[in-house]
Amino acid sequence: MCLSTVYKNTMTPETVVMKNVMKIECKDGCVLLTDLMERTVAIEGTLESANLVDGFVIVKETA
C-alpha cells in the first residue's frame, strides 16, 4: 500500500497538510485528500509533484 504525506507548497515539517493519504482527487481547482481514517481535506490549488516511492506529494496552493 502506498501512503503519502502531503505538503503545501514546499516539503518542510511546518507545511504538512495530511499524513497517511490514500486517495488524491483534483476537481474544480481543488485537490481533495483522503486519509486512512476516511478524513478529507480540500486545498485550493494544483498537484505540483508526487513521489509515491518516497511517499510525498506537494500541492501548490493558489492565493
pLDDT tens per residue across span 2-42: 899 999 999 999 999 999 999 999 999 999 999 999 999 99
DSSP string, the chain: ---EEEEESS-SGGGEEEEEEEEEEEETTEEEEEETT--EEEEEEEEEEEETTTTEEEEEE--
pTM listed for this prediction: 0.92
What's the confidence (pLDDT) of residue 16? 98
How much is the pLDDT for 2? 81
**Structure-block grid coordinates of residue 39:** 478524513
Mean pLDDT of 49-55: 94
Instruction: Check whether 63 has a pLDDT greater than 80.
Output: no
